[in-house]
Every structure is written in structure tokens, then in C-alpha cells.
Amino acid sequence: MNNEGEAQSPNSKLQTPNSKSRIRATHTFPREFKWGTATAAHQVEGGHTPSDWDGWEKLPGKVRGGGTAEIACEWWAGRWREDFDRAANDGQTAHRFGVDWSRIEPRMAVWDEEALDHYRQMAKGLRERGIEPMVTLHHFVNPLWLAEKGGWENPAIVSYFERFVRKVVNALKDIVDLWCTINEPNVGAYQAYADGVWPPGEKDMSACFRALRHMLLAHAAAYRAIHEIQPQARVGIAHHFEFIDPWRPDFAPDRWVAGLQNRVFNEIIPQALHTGRLAYPVGQGARGERLPELAGTMDYFGVNYYSRRSSTFDVSQAASLFGRTFHTPGAEVDNLAQNELYPEGLFRALEWANGFGLPILITENGWGDEDESRRNRALLLHLRQTWRAVNFNFRVQGYYYWTLVDNFEWERGWDQRFGLYALDVATQSRSPRPAAHLYAEVCKTNTFSADMAARYAPELLPTMFPT
Ligand code: IFM
């Protein structure tokens, strides 16, 4: 195997007259493959909202460097237009953007029609530019009135969310038919209710499971409501995969704990939405709870993929199911040491998702860093794994790079830069990073090639396109 995890050709030693010249391969994607970027309302819009995050991010110590989303990319002030122009000029054909519940329903059951119209204009703006819109209905942020009623811990959120979704879908249904109900329920529930680094800042595993259960029920209610309004809609969630591998694969406790963490973090959510059985492998829910209304509520499988972790058994780590996780020693990590460069994980995620028999969309994948050479490399390596998956006939139909322009990265503030375009928040000027040019070439040609690798990440040539 080479270090991309692919088998060496048995003929790799064969001498041919051209054996010194590099393979000039071009990897082509299916003609209808969608190329896009993904964004989320709170991370790009700017301005104040009556939401839980608006107050939270201003509390001392909650966000690195005291960063806030107060200005962000000024999409609420209209700069989405220029950024959508960039996406279109770069050959993108798909864009996933979010709506902010707190703008649309600033007080319980009080609707802001102007906010709805703003999102209509954005969706129309995408269509006018030849870009297919996908709308995320919930991306980590709750209206303040709802947070004050207990947020995801309150069972009433299921019907509140359904009511909100009906409002949005009715307003956008002539423009949008691709919907993501909830972004990354596993991350949202964990960060807010177990790790406590997002609002409401709880550190209680059972609160985390309760919140997760309500998220799934809310998704299912939204799924049915959307199909009632728009029978042809395609509805799913964006599910975050982070593989957790045993630190010592030959040590049974490490295998056990990594398996448990994988099941909880990566597997139970899609399985519940597929089978209607929510099976926490721990505690009271270990036998599985029958929730038949969840079954069959994904029209596509949305995969968000960034990284993996290693895990070792540690009795002192009850909050993380007795596993201490860390990045694989020696692995390349980003500037905040948050994500590990492990592109094979994308293939593994797609392979696992493919088992559900649904079309797959890579609803997020990207690299947030200060090191430009790593960003190009990360992009090419993940595209290679996407292409491999397509060639294994996994039903991967599109790729949304996270993200178009640098944005507010939650508790990491502005210290993690994922944008194809670098943003100067103070002046609002955007400048294309090399990865923007690389990705534009990919989108416009529907390929990636040895020639692109030679120009954007030549260090990849020996393994990706060997002599
Ligand atoms: O910024 C986030 C996004 O909101 C959800 N998925 C991961 C991204 C990068 O951290």
C-alpha cells in the first residue's frame, strides 16, 4: 500500500520507454456531479440577532481572541451578492446556505416577513447565477426565546421547529427543493450539553442525549412537514463523521472504547433515522428505544468530514465514555491542532454512508489553517478520496467545500480560516487564496489532474501520480 492507502500496481517495477515521465492522469467526475461551497447563517451574516449565540460569544472567555460574529462577512448587509458572484465565476454549481431561526421568528410565533424575503432573495440570487441552493434550517443557533424555554432539552422544541420549518418552506418552495433540516446534531448536542463550550454551556451527558433525541424527533417532524408541502423535496441532515481509531489496535480495551465512541458519535444518528430505533450503547437506552417516526427520514445522506482521532481506554474519562482521545502522534494537524489531515477517513465515511443505499452529498469538507501549501494538498487529497468513492460506485453526487469566505468559527473565533477567499473583517476585502484558483479549475473542468497537482501541491506527485 502507498501512503494514500491504495494498492501498488503489481507492474510498478515494469520498465517502459516512458517510465521516467510522470503519469499525466486526469481524474474525471460524472457529468452531473455538483461542485459547491457551504456556509451557515450566523457565521457569515453579521449584525445582531435575538439568539443564544449573540449573547454567548460576548461573554468573557467563550471565544478565542474575543472574536464575535458581529460583522462577519456582512451577508445580512448584502455582501452575499458579491460572494455568490465569486462562486459563480469560479464555476460552482451548488451552494448550501443557512437561515437563522432567530431572525425569522424573533419572538415566539412572531414572524419577520422581511427576513424571510431576504432569504428568498438569496435563494433566487443563487438560481440566477446557475447555482443550485440547498437550505440548512438549523445550524447550531437558537432564538433566545426558545433558549430561555430550555432549548433542545425542552420536548416542545419538536413542534416549535416543525412550525418554523413550515413557515420557511412555504416561503421558499418555488425556489428551493433541497433541504438540510439540522446541521451536525452530534456536534451541536455534544458541544452545547456535554462539553459545555457552546450555549447553554452544560456539562451533562444525559442532557446531551436528551437534546440529541429531541433533535432527531424535530428532524423527523420537519421531514414530514416538508414533504407534505413539497412532495418532490429532497430532505436530509448534514452528519459529522470523525473517525475514532484505537490507539493500540492490538489492545482490547482500546478497541472496545474506540468502538463505543464511534458508535455513539458516528453511527447511532444515521441508524436511528434509517431504522426508527435509537440505540445509545450505554446507560438506560442501551437496549434501544423504538421511535418509528424516525425511520426512513433521509432522502440523501449528508456527510461532513474533516478529521479523525485516536482513542485509548482511560477510566478517569467518564464524560467521554472512558476513552481519552488525541490526534494520532506524528499526524499533520492544522494551526489550532483541531483537525488531523486524514483524507482516507473521507473514503471510509462515504463507504459507511453508502451502506444506507441513499444518494450521498459531501455537505462539508475543508481545511482551516494558516498554511496555504497544506490547504491545497488537503483539498487535492480529499478530492482524490471522493473520486475513488465515485469509482467504487458509491452514490456520491456532490461536494460542498467548507467554506467560500473566511467566517466566524464558533469558539475558535477568527483563528481558524477555512475560506477559499481570505477575509479582512475590518475592511471587508476578500482575496482569493491559491485554493480558490485550484477549486475553480476543478469545478470548471469537472476533473482534477496531475497537472493541477504539479502546480498547486507538487509534493503530492510522487505518491498521487508516481513516475
Ligand atoms: O464551521 C463549522 C460548521 O459550522 C460545521 N461544521 C464544521 C465547520 C468547521 O469547523
Query: What pLDDT shows up at residue 202?
Result: 97
184, 340, 400, best to mutate for ligand 1 pocket (most atoms within 8 Å of CB): 184
Task: Calculate how far, in angstroms, residue 409's C-alpha sits from the geometric centre of ligand 1.
Answer: 7
37, 43, 239, 410, best to mutate for ligand 1 pocket (most atoms within 8 Å of CB): 410
Say what the pTM is. 0.95
401, 409, 412, 423, best to mutate for ligand 1 pocket (most atoms within 8 Å of CB): 409
Q: Whose alpha carbon is nearest atom 9 of ligand 1?
A: 409
pLDDT band at residue 20 under the 50/70/90 scheme: low
The one-character DSSP state at 51 is B
Residue 222 C-alpha cell reads as 420537519
What pLDDT, in 10s, does the model give residues 363-411? 999 999 998 889 999 999 999 999 999 999 999 999 999 999 999 999 9
Is 184's C-beta closer than 6 angstroms to any atom of ligand 1? yes
Per the prediction, the chain carries an average pLDDT of: 94
Query: Is a pLDDT exceeding 80 seen at residue 145?
Result: yes
pLDDT band at residue 2 under the 50/70/90 scheme: very low
Dihedrals phi, psi of 309, to nearest 5 degrees = -140, 160
Task: Calculate how far, in angstroms, residue 111's C-alpha sits from the geometric centre of ligand 1.
Answer: 28
User: In the chain, what percentage of residues exceed pLDDT 90?
Assistant: 90
Ligand 1, residue 38: give the atom nearest the CA. Answer: 3
Is 408's C-beta closer than 6 angstroms to any atom of ligand 1? no
CB pairs under 8 A, 24+ apart, for 332-336? 332/374, 334/367, 334/368, 334/369, 334/374, 334/416, 335/368, 335/369, 335/370, 335/371, 335/415, 335/416, 336/368, 336/412, 336/415, 336/416
Residue 382 C-alpha cell reads as 480529499
How far apart (Å, rounded) are the C-alpha atoms in residues 387 and 428? 35
Q: Whose alpha carbon is nearest atom 4 of ligand 1?
A: 40
Is 40's C-beta closer than 6 angstroms to any atom of ligand 1? yes
What pLDDT, in 10s, does the model give residues 120-132? 999 999 999 999 9
Is 409's C-beta closer than 6 angstroms to any atom of ligand 1? yes
Task: Calculate how far, in angstroms, residue 194's C-alpha sits from the geometric centre of ligand 1.
Answer: 18
What pLDDT, in 10s, does the model give residues 192-219? 999 999 999 999 989 999 999 999 999 9
User: In the chain, what percentage of residues exceed pLDDT 70?
Assistant: 94
Is 54's C-beta closer than 6 angstroms to any atom of ligand 1? no
Query: What pLDDT shows up at residue 1?
Result: 36
Is 304's C-beta closer than 6 angstroms to any atom of ligand 1? yes
DSSP string, 83-96: HHHHHHHTT--EEE
Task: Calculate how far, in angstroms, residue 308's C-alpha sits from the geometric centre of ligand 1.
Answer: 15
The one-character DSSP state at 63 is S
Q: Is 27 exposed, middle or buried (0-12, 13-18, 19+ CB in 10 A)?
A: buried
Task: Calculate how far, in angstroms, residue 90's C-alpha sits from the geometric centre of ligand 1.
Answer: 22
Task: Calculate how far, in angstroms, residue 147's C-alpha sits from the geometric centre of ligand 1.
Answer: 21
**Cβ atoms 102, 142 nearer than 8 A:** yes
How far apart (Å, rounded) are the C-alpha atoms in residues 54 and 30? 42
Q: Name the strand (E) or helix (H) holding 28.
A: strand 26-28
Per-domain boundaries in the chain: 15-29+446-467, 32-244+296-315+329-434
Least confident of 225-229, 288-292, 294-298, 391-395: 288-292
What pLDDT, in 10s, does the model give residues 306-326? 999 999 999 999 878 899 999
Is 402's C-beta closer than 6 angstroms to any atom of ligand 1? yes
User: Which residue is associated with the grid cell 497537482?
Assistant: 453
Least confident of 73-82, 229-238, 310-319: 310-319
pLDDT band at residue 296 under the 50/70/90 scheme: very high
Task: Calculate how far, in angstroms, residue 19's C-alpha sits from the geometric centre of ligand 1.
Answer: 43
- Provide the 3-class DSSP secondary structure of residue 211: helix
Query: What pLDDT shows up at residue 21?
Result: 61
Task: Out of 3.90.550.10, 3.30.70.20, 3.30.1120.80, 3.20.20.80, select the CATH number for domain 32-244+296-315+329-434.
Answer: 3.20.20.80
Ligand 1, residue 240: give the atom nearest the CA. Answer: 6
Dihedrals phi, psi of 94, to nearest 5 degrees = -150, 145
Query: Is a pLDDT exceeding 80 seen at residue 297?
Result: yes
Which of these, 294, 285, 301, 192, lies nearest to 240 by C-alpha position? 301
Ligand 1, residue 140: give the atom nearest the CA. Answer: 4
Task: Calculate how far, in angstroms, residue 405's C-alpha sits from the geometric centre of ligand 1.
Answer: 13
What pLDDT, in 10s, does the model give residues 348-364? 999 999 999 999 999 99
DSSP string, 64-127: GGG--SSSTT-IIIIIHHHHHHHHHHTT--EEEEE--HHHHSSBTTB--HHHHHHHHHHHHHHH
Query: Is a pLDDT exceeding 90 seen at residue 429?
Result: yes
Q: pLDDT: is 428 or 17 the higher one?
A: 428
Largest CA distance in the chain: 74
What pLDDT, in 10s, does the model give residues 82-120? 999 999 999 999 999 999 999 999 999 999 999 999 999
Task: Calculate how far, in angstroms, residue 163's C-alpha sits from the geometric centre of ligand 1.
Answer: 26
Sequence-distant (6+) residues with CB within 8 A of 427 are none
